Structure 1
């Protein structure tokens, strides 16, 4: 008998949010905010024609409108601008070397700290995009939100620089290293901060152990769903910064084994998230209690928003998103990921009891 192993041509995408208590919820200002934000971004000519086509397929305005369904029109617009800014940053840093990514990160942080200063002539275009986004956000932003957003955005850009270094060296992290880095590079922490743009939640409340657990769990669920949905895209371009690739290499699993491991991990994260949600304290100040309640529900909603956007946009599955959402069957590309230069010797499994 032949010992040749037949590689699978399709895989079933796990339905990991089938019992998630937050349903799909779309901001009623989606259409007008999308139109305005797209027109605004087009003024910068930040993309090549090919990248512009990819951008148009993503509809990050839909993601923002799903993620911030309770924001008023101004808040929805700022959310749309943020999602579009993330694409500008990702597009330009993905092709930058570590030094170039560091320069771009420094520009972004200077913009957030000095938004009223004109940007130097000839500077990377992302700086002016970020400046105009931030000036618009400041019109409705509380000082507390501003501080939280800048802190989390700095984590994001520092992570992007580290990712550029890993990409240059063709390095594949171990699982623990991967999550430590991906929790920043995914941009979800500043995305969650945007939920509180009009709120004034004190630092000591945001640092409550249960709220911190919700933020961490929400970030990890977004990572897991993103990396499962984007695996084919990243496989085609030999991008090793993906959880599926990391698990296969780190645990010496085949593709099916990695999917099962990741699905089980997600189940554990869901369980811990729902437990932490039930343990968030109530506060005697009615306004603070209302804001905390809205914030933690906003995290749960974002997990759902990210999942449904993955199918409703054309970023990962083209025009077949709704079909794949229903059948969960995805055609698996055959292009192999190159072997890593080095591996982390230690594997720490997150969310293990």
Structure 2
């Protein structure tokens, strides 16, 4: 199925770049995950290594200081571990099973990374690691970004309960519903925020409400998630069939066979990429240096997801 994605998806028209410290970040991040208990034993280490979070982070954040590359790598590692716990280890099989974990993690997020605040009793490795990420963001002294990250992670966790409810009832969501919720379940938005933090260059608060800027942000998140869906579809279909894939939702809503749904999903990605390039060009033409930096992070993420997906054994 990877071969279909390679042949059907247009290559993002943005330069491919890679951080020089990817291997260093990979080793340090794997040790961070091991020390905090996110992974245990050789099998967990192999699964995380197969996801190659440092490679994705290094392509999405190619010019950042090494400590901020590490922060992004660690966030992506945490998201992969949480995703695997829900999708492959059964945690997300039903809302009643997932809800206690989500409640614990929401309580951790309520601390906003305060290094003096004690963790709730019984906090497991996912909570310990999440608090560590928030603490490190808080230390950058960018409170607006910390609040945005916490809000986006809350949305991510609550959206996982939506997925769990669908699994429990064997429900396939409609395409429009899926596209909206995928922006949250995919973890793209908190990843964008950490990438913004890496460069310390952001548009002023007044620009965040600009519909043109928010539309580009939404579309960038869509493209990252749809690219992921097309590259991961083959593995999901063969190992643990799940309704949470753009291909599956298109097939169910339109009554199409698999081949037609794959083509329709690829067409949606390609059309979205063309639309993104147009919107990006308009904003770049009239934007200042901070808007340009913001746009660069989104371009990097779209390109990084495509390039990383070509080789990641996570989808083999």
TM-score w.r.t. structure 2 length? Answer: 0.89
Tell me if the contact between 1:17 and 1:304 (Cα under 8 Å) persists in the aligned partners: no
Q: Structure 1 residues 53, 281: CA separation in 2 closer, same or farther (over 3 Å shift)?
A: closer
TM-superposed deviation, 1:218:
0.9
- Match of residue 26, structure 2, among 31, 34, 37: 34
Structure 1 Cα separation of the partners of residues 101 and 27 of structure 2: 27
Equivalent residue of 1:12, what SS? helix
CA deviation profile, 1:285-332 (whole Å, cap 9, x unmatched): xxxx32221111110110110111112221112xxxxxxxxxxxxxxx
Structure 2 Cα separation of the partners of residues 162 and 228 of structure 1: 21
Structure 2 Cα separation of the partners of residues 136 and 173 of structure 1: 36
Greater Cα shift, 252-261 or 196-205: 196-205
- Match of residue 238, structure 1, among 229, 241, 248: 241
- The equivalent residue for 2:171 is 171
CA deviation profile, 1:150-205 (whole Å, cap 9, x unmatched): 22222211111111111111111111111121111001111111222134533331
Structure 2 Cα separation of the partners of residues 171 and 137 of structure 1: 37
Q: Structure 1 residues 281, 164: CA separation in 2 closer, same or farther (over 3 Å shift)?
A: same
Equivalent residue of 2:71, what SS? helix
Moved over 4 A (4+): 281-284
Tell me if the contact between 2:53 and 2:73 (Cα under 8 Å) persists in the aligned partners: yes
Name whichever structure is richer in helix by fraction.
Answer: 2
- The equivalent residue for 2:14 is 22
Does residue 1:268 correspond to 2:271, yes or no? yes
Tell me if the contact between 1:27 and 1:69 (Cα under 8 Å) persists in the aligned partners: yes
Q: Which has the larger radius of gyration?
A: 1
TM-score w.r.t. structure 1 length? Answer: 0.80
TM-superposed deviation, 1:280:
1.7
- The equivalent residue for 1:313 is 312
CA deviation profile, 1:7-59 (whole Å, cap 9, x unmatched): xx9963244233x3212211122122211111111113334644432222111
- The equivalent residue for 2:75 is 82
CA deviation profile, 1:71-97 (whole Å, cap 9, x unmatched): 111110100110011022213333223
- Match of residue 70, structure 1, among 63, 68, 71: 63
Q: How many positions carry a matched residue from both structures?
A: 304
Equivalent residue of 1:249, what SS? helix
CA RMSD of aligned residues (A): 2.2
Tell me if the contact between 1:29 and 1:65 (Cα under 8 Å) persists in the aligned partners: yes
Tell me if the contact between 1:144 and 1:199 (Cα under 8 Å) persists in the aligned partners: no
Structure 1 Cα separation of the partners of residues 286 and 254 of structure 2: 44
Structure 2 Cα separation of the partners of residues 10 and 297 of structure 1: 27
- The equivalent residue for 2:104 is 107
Structure 1 Cα separation of the partners of residues 159 and 269 of structure 2: 23
Tell me if the contact between 1:23 and 1:304 (Cα under 8 Å) persists in the aligned partners: yes
Structure 2 Cα separation of the partners of residues 11 and 25 of structure 1: 23
Tell me if the contact between 1:59 and 1:313 (Cα under 8 Å) persists in the aligned partners: yes
**Runs of at least 5 residues in structure 1 that lack an aligned partner in the other structure:** 1-8, 318-353
**Runs of at least 5 residues in structure 2 that lack an aligned partner in the other structure:** none
